Amino acid sequence: MLAIEIIEKKKNGLQLTKHEIDFMVEGYTKGLIPDYQMSAFLMSIYFQGMTKEETSNLTLAYVNSGDRVDLSAINGIKVDKHSTGGVGDKISLIVIPLVASVGVPVAKMSGRGLGHTGGTIDKLESIEGFRIELSEEEFNYNVNSYKMAITGQSANLVPADKKTYALRDVTATVNSIPLIASSVMSKKIASGADAIVLDVKVGSGAFMKSIEQAKELAQTMVDIGNSLNRKTVAILSNMNQPLGKEVGNANEIKEAIKVLKGEGEVDETTVALTIASYMAVLGGAFNEFDIAYEKLENIIKSGEAIDKFKELIKIQGGNPEIVDHPNRLPKPKYSIEIKANKSGYIYNIYAEIIGISAMLLGAGRRTKEDKIDYAAGITLNKKIGDKVSIGETICILHTNKEDYNEALERILEAYIISDNQPAREQFIYEIIK
């Protein structure tokens, strides 16, 4: 088999066999196929797309490139969730204790930040002592005993995706539906979950900018999951502006605590409860979504949810006192208030620019060697639809960096103020089952 013949075939819009897809993925992972041929292959997929069968085969080829996590030592239906990436997306921090509270085991493997989007693992590391490296025994023990554990992805989980993702990042082939779907689903399948809830973000801060595109991506992922016997549900949620009011690592921990105490913003509370409810239903705790939603709301109201979060921090070595004393989380040296330059309504907040600005303040890594500043981030005092007067604070930048000018310049492009009041934002657009 020759790589050039396979590239030619896809370039001409023909369907590839499983054998041909395996040949490309395995060859590239082992270094037998060079970057330039893989780039051409990815670009041909970008333009010609893939059939359902090809996308499932690509997912399996990715899964088979590395280790598979064996969760068979954990009792019950293991349900995982995955977000396609957003700004201020602290949903995982909220749903882990919530779903565990109703007895569904959450064996969570999470990643670090990617591009302008933050990672759950980085956020949890802002809690002093919190260990994200757990041995397999400790991970399984915690899920069996407390119904929850979170760890970083093992180094050899889907190496084909790791290598291909880095290449897609520099060849303008990230936002292709079959490529995103196989990348996401291969990681979920390799992580060993029995059921999966996907949070597909739509809008200016997401890879999918329109509802139509997001729907197609969601349906593709649900089809892959179902074809591989994983019950899969996808939620299309709004990423036209960051979720909640806090962006950054320690900032997002503080805000997740608020949601778990019942004091959170309505957008993130709604998205978290929706995802947690589907997880609870797929995990067998409830037959119906509405019953699960009501029960989980009550778990927040009763204080059980926040107690479960304290427990998560404690069993992973962190200091649970930060829940009652969030001011013990890392604090920034500088907090710079950004003022409105005109009066009106907040018409738009470009989530991607907020994410990039937070990264420039130190909240994310621009290179692998960069150290994260856990205190860095942005507080959004005003969100879309809010009224502002000239000179009023619209957001606050937090950093330990003396030189924050680049972030300051970018942040001014993120907020659009208009005389017209925008239409009400919807938090959840659709559910794909």
Rounded Cα distance between 33 and 433, Å, is: 37
Nearest approach, Cβ of residue 274 and ligand URA (Å) = 20
Nearest approach, Cβ of residue 294 and ligand URA (Å) = 32
Task: Report how far apart, in Å, the C-alpha atoms of 48 and of each of 12, 58, 183, 226 are.
Answer: 8, 15, 18, 24
Active-site option among 101, 110, 176, 183: 183
CB of 168 or CB of 310, closer to ligand URA? 168
In this structure, what is the dihedral angle of CA atoms 317, 117, 159, 155, given to the nearest 10 degrees? -20
Rounded Cα distance between 422 and 352, Å, is: 19
Footprint of ligand URA (CB under 6 A): 84-85, 179-180, 183-184, 207
Q: Are 192 and 71 in contact (CB under 8 A)?
A: yes
Nearest approach, Cβ of residue 9 and ligand URA (Å) = 23
183 catalytic residue (yes or no): yes
Residue type, 172: A
Give the β-pairing of 393-399 and 377-380: antiparallel
CB of 37 or CB of 183, closer to ligand URA? 183
Rounded Cα distance between 73 and 93, Å, is: 24
Q: What are phi and psi of 3, to 5 degrees?
A: -55, -40
Rounded Cα distance between 190 and 78, Å, is: 13
Tokens of 91: 């949903």
CB of 46 or CB of 309, closer to ligand URA? 46
191 catalytic residue (yes or no): no
Q: Are 317 and 135 in contact (CB under 8 A)?
A: no
325 catalytic residue (yes or no): no
Nearest approach, Cβ of residue 200 and ligand URA (Å) = 10
On the 0-12 / 13-18 / 19+ scale of CB atoms within 10 A, 371 is: exposed
On the 0-12 / 13-18 / 19+ scale of CB atoms within 10 A, 219 is: middle
Q: 98: helix, coil or strand?
A: helix
CB of 207 or CB of 350, closer to ligand URA? 207
CB of 83 or CB of 269, closer to ligand URA? 83
Active-site option among 22, 80, 161, 267: 161
CB of 207 or CB of 374, closer to ligand URA? 207
Nearest approach, Cβ of residue 233 and ligand URA (Å) = 18
Closest by Cα among 356, 432, 433 to 397:
356
Active-site option among 10, 147, 168, 201: 168
Q: 368: helix, coil or strand?
A: coil
Nearest approach, Cβ of residue 168 and ligand URA (Å) = 7
78 catalytic residue (yes or no): no
168 catalytic residue (yes or no): yes
CB of 10 or CB of 82, closer to ligand URA? 82
Active-site option among 187, 230, 245, 258: 187
Tokens of 244: 């909640």
231-238: strand order across its sheet: 79-83, 195-202, 231-238, 428-432
Q: Which residue is nearest to ligand URA (CB)?
A: 183
Residue type, 327: N
Closest by Cα among 211, 143, 206 to 180:
206
Nearest approach, Cβ of residue 423 and ligand URA (Å) = 28
Catalytic residues: 82, 161, 168, 183, 187
